[in-house]
A and B are shown apart, each in its own frame.
Chain A
Amino acid sequence: MSDTTEKGFDVKGEQGFIYSRLDDIINWVRANSIWPQPMGLACCAIELMAVGGSRFDIGRFGMEVMRFSPRQSDCMIVSGTVTYKMAGAVKRIYDQMAAPKWVIAMGACASSGGMFRSYSTLQGVDKIIPVDVYVAGCPTRPEALLDALVRLQGKIRTEHSTKELFSRSRYC
């Protein structure tokens, strides 16, 4: 075992046990391995790609595993304009994601319809799926999306995960 690990967690001193709350452990696991589902619909998706690239690098926060299958992902990042024609597909992909799942509305269009106040555009993706974090910007800066992801981690750390595991109130 290396030095750094021994400093962080002393096996001998704790006799091989960690004492914590179950909520904290579950939330710690969930928050640090978010697998995003890139729901790229417009130009915000380009910024999302930049976030995944080496310059901004969401790998620093344990979220670099972008999954294009909804069944393998935790967090849908709706990046772009949601038209009424696309809304059904967005909703269906959200339904296919396994709980627990979170949604980030990235940019003005996904949050409120943005500048597309017109006949074809859904006025905010929160009309069809529950959104956890809204990000401003048109398109969003990569830093802003990183901030949103960190805020989402903060939100996950405050959740009552154990209670929800048994009550099933939130995810049904």
Chain B
Amino acid sequence: MPYLKAREAADGMESYNCPPDKLLETAEVLKDDYEFQTLDDIAAIDMGPDRPSGGRFGAVYHFYSHTRKLYLRLCAMCADNEEPKLPSLTGLYLSADWAEREAYDLMGIVFEGHPHLARILMWDGYPYHPLRKDFPLAGLPAPLPDSFDGNYEATEVKPAPMEGGPFKAPQGDSFAEGREPRSRAQI
């Protein structure tokens, strides 16, 4: 397949960049001719909002062959930054179903051809895709799930208090200080 370009991999796994419109075709060949029976995982990536067109969203697919005891990695970047789309692999791999729903839910990548592309972790009607780089960790105000209406006082979805966080755990001696910025005031 000439359109596949080898991709650097720190772990030495066989990795290729794949154009998004050839993804379905490639997966079919991998499954039928190269014995990659399972799709282990789909990892959606967001390279940041300031990337040029076609360089922001993408998905990394990990295939595994039980007979050849071999992994293979495919990376497909979406052509559009505003409305990222990829073909769905649910017709080939059943495991793609929930993985694609998760990628859609948290990263907003639309998988065309998915039989039921609904949110899987956040509730239906949630307006954002929270793992995008431009989404704040504390969250944004949003309407509550439909299941939360009723004749009682409803709470709100509002940004969580960060209190000086997010706390990091750096390597080295200054572990406690970096992890808990509030502790610095007391030292």
A interface residues, Cβ below 8 angstroms from B: 84-85, 87-89, 91-92, 95, 113, 116-123, 127-128
| B160-A88 in contact (CB<8A) | no
- Closest residue of A by beta carbon distance from B161: A117
- Closest residue of A by beta carbon distance from B155: A127
Counting CB contacts under 8 A, is B33 at the interface?
no
Given A118-B137, A118-B160, 4 more A-B residue pairs with CB atoms under 8 Å apart are A84-B123, A84-B144, A120-B121, A128-B155
| B138-A117 in contact (CB<8A) | yes
- Cα–Cα distance between A86 and B151 once the two chains are bound (Å): 18
Q: List 28 A-B contacts (CB under 8 A).
A: A84-B145, A84-B148, A85-B121, A85-B122, A85-B145, A88-B145, A91-B148, A91-B152, A92-B147, A95-B150, A113-B160, A116-B160, A117-B137, A117-B138, A117-B161, A117-B166, A118-B138, A119-B128, A119-B136, A119-B139, A119-B140, A119-B159, A119-B160, A120-B121, A120-B122, A123-B160, A128-B152, A128-B155
Q: How far is the CB of A138 from chain B (nearest CB, A)?
A: 14
- Closest residue of A by beta carbon distance from B167: A115
- Cα–Cα distance between A127 and B144 once the two chains are bound (Å): 13
Interface residues of B in 19-71 (CB under 8 A from A): none
> Chain B: interface secondary structure?
loop
In the complex, how many residues of chain B place their beta carbon closer than 8 angstroms to a beta carbon of chain A? 26
B interface residues, Cβ below 8 angstroms from A: 121-123, 128, 130, 135-140, 144-145, 147-148, 150, 152, 155, 157, 159-163, 165-166
Q: In the complex, which residues of chain A have a beta carbon less than 8 angstroms from the beta carbon of B138?
A: 117-119
- Cα–Cα distance between A149 and B128 once the two chains are bound (Å): 40
Instruction: Using known A-B contacts A87-B155, A128-B155, determine if residue A119 contacts B135 with beta carbons closer than 8 Å.
Output: yes
